[in-house]
């Protein structure tokens, strides 16, 4: 049954028109805390698209220097993560200039980046998500008293699990809340879901194979993503019922659509180990694009190598 669910997301038999050589600008870098990850994604995407015969310029872009947008191109591939590149700001600039770019538009990007707003859209679409609340300075004492650990505290708008913490002791909760509110002005607190962590890539209008992430750390944090070689990514030996995996795949597409995303995304989940109930954590509109990132891994599982994945994303952008 699990193997059947995986086969439904394979793309190798799906006909795709061959693109001629295109002029492509890959945008990376940016001003966010995820800058180094973004630079790596940009290099990998540029290399993959060049392998498919495209004329690619790799540019490090930021709010103070938009000169990379002056080059006449057929399409722009955004590989920026976090603030400016993933929150709708860059997308809005490209839209105003009438430039064709891959990925979600400015409105969907802004919705997905704000975890509180995204959760509202999930709820309206019937996609389960952990209970949460927004924490501001005036509410820290009351929230610390009302919420029982374990809980997750994290920024409202941040990626790569930066400043995301699992708090297991009540005495630590107020301290963590103060730290994040001091840094960001507000933060998010939500129930910690104890169980497997899953992620699902979306390509076009189809979910890619479900991937389970196993890490010896409390959750899939920044270190687990980028520095800990003990992290495992499993597509076959997932210890969950087939019905649960099918639900996660279908609900991932529902979450993607609820936010108005397009072309591609990656949807992150945790599953309650006691009940097998999945909970959607967030939708990443510009997930990592290095050769070890989750979206390329899922695409490879579905029959697309890195170059073909980039080619398909460009095709989707040009088909609008």
Q: Last residue of a domain, which of 165, 191, 217?
A: 191
**What is the three-class DSSP state of 47?**
helix
Q: Does residue 92 lie in a domain region?
A: no
Catalytic residue among 268, 308, 310, 312, which?
Answer: 268
Q: Last residue of a domain, which of 143, 162, 191?
A: 191
Taking the C-alpha atoms of residue 246 and residue 205, their distance in angstroms, rounded to an integer, is 16
Find the domain containing 124 and state its range.
112-128+194-308
Catalytic residue among 192, 222, 226, 279, which?
Answer: 226
Same domain, 187 and 207: no
Q: Does residue 314 lie in a domain region?
A: no
Respond yes or no: is residue 32 known to be catalytic.
no
Q: Does residue 9 lie in a domain region?
A: no
The number of folded domains in the chain is: 2
Same domain, 124 and 266: yes
Tell which residue, 19, 43, 50, 10, has the closest CA to residue 29. 43
Respond yes or no: is residue 312 known to be catalytic.
no
Same domain, 213 and 138: no
Find out whether 288 and 37 touch, Cβ atoms under 8 Å. Answer: yes
The confidence band for 19, taking pLDDT boundaries of 50, 70 and 90, is confident
Respond yes or no: is residue 226 known to be catalytic.
yes
Respond yes or no: is residue 276 known to be catalytic.
no
Helix ranges (DSSP H) in 106-169: 106-113, 115-125, 140-146
Taking the C-alpha atoms of residue 241 and residue 115, their distance in angstroms, rounded to an integer, is 28
Label residue 211 exposed, middle or buried (CB < 10 Å: 0-12, 13-18, 19+): buried
Q: Does residue 35 lie in a domain region?
A: no
Q: Which two tokens stand for residue 130?
A: 């952990």
Rounded-to-5 percentages of helix, strand, coil across the chain: 40, 20, 40
pLDDT at 112 over 70: yes
Respond yes or no: is residue 268 known to be catalytic.
yes
pLDDT at 28 over 50: yes
Catalytic residue among 28, 30, 32, 34, which?
Answer: 34
Domain of residue 226, CATH code: 3.30.470.20
pLDDT in tens, 60-88: 999 999 999 999 999 999 999 999 999 99
């Amino acid at each position: 049954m699990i193997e059947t669910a995986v086969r439904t997301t394979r793309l190798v038999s799906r006909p795709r028109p061959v693109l001629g050589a295109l002029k492509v600008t890959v945008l990376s870098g940016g001003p966010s805390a995820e800058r180094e990850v973004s630079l790596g994604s940009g290099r990998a995407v540029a290399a993959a698209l060049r392998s498919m015969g495209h004329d690619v310029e790799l540019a490090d872009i930021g709010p103070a220097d938009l000169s990379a947008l002056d080059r006449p191109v057929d399409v722009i591939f955004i590989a920026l993560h976090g603030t400016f590149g993933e929150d709708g700001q860059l997308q809005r600039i490209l839209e105003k200039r009438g430039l064709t770019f891959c990925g979600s538009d400015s409105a969907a990007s802004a919705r997905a980046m704000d975890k509180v707003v995204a959760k509202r859209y999930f709820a309206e679409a019937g996609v389960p998500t952990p209970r949460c609340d927004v924490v501001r300075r005036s509410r820290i004492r009351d929230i610390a008293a009302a919420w029982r650990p374990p809980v997750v505290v994290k920024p409202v708008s941040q990626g790569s699990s930066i400043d995301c913490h699992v708090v297991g002791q009540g005495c630590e909760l107020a301290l963590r809340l103060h730290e994040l509110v001091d840094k960001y002005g507000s933060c998010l607190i939500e129930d910690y879901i104890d169980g497997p962590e899953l992620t699902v890539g979306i390509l076009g209008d189809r979910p890619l194979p479900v991937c389970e992430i196993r890490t010896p750390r409390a959750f899939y944090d920044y270190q687990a993503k980028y520095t800990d070689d003990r992290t495992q990514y499993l597509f076959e030996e997932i210890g969950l019922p087939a019905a649960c995996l099918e639900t996660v795949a279908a609900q991932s597409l529902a979450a993607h659509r609820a936010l108005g995303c397009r072309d591609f995304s990656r949807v992150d989940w945790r599953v309650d180990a006691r009940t097998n109930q999945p909970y959607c954590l967030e939708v990443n509109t510009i997930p990592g694009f290095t050769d070890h990132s989750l979206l390329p891994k899922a695409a490879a599982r579905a029959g697309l190598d890195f170059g073909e994945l980039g080619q398909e994303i460009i095709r989707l952008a040009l088909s609008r």
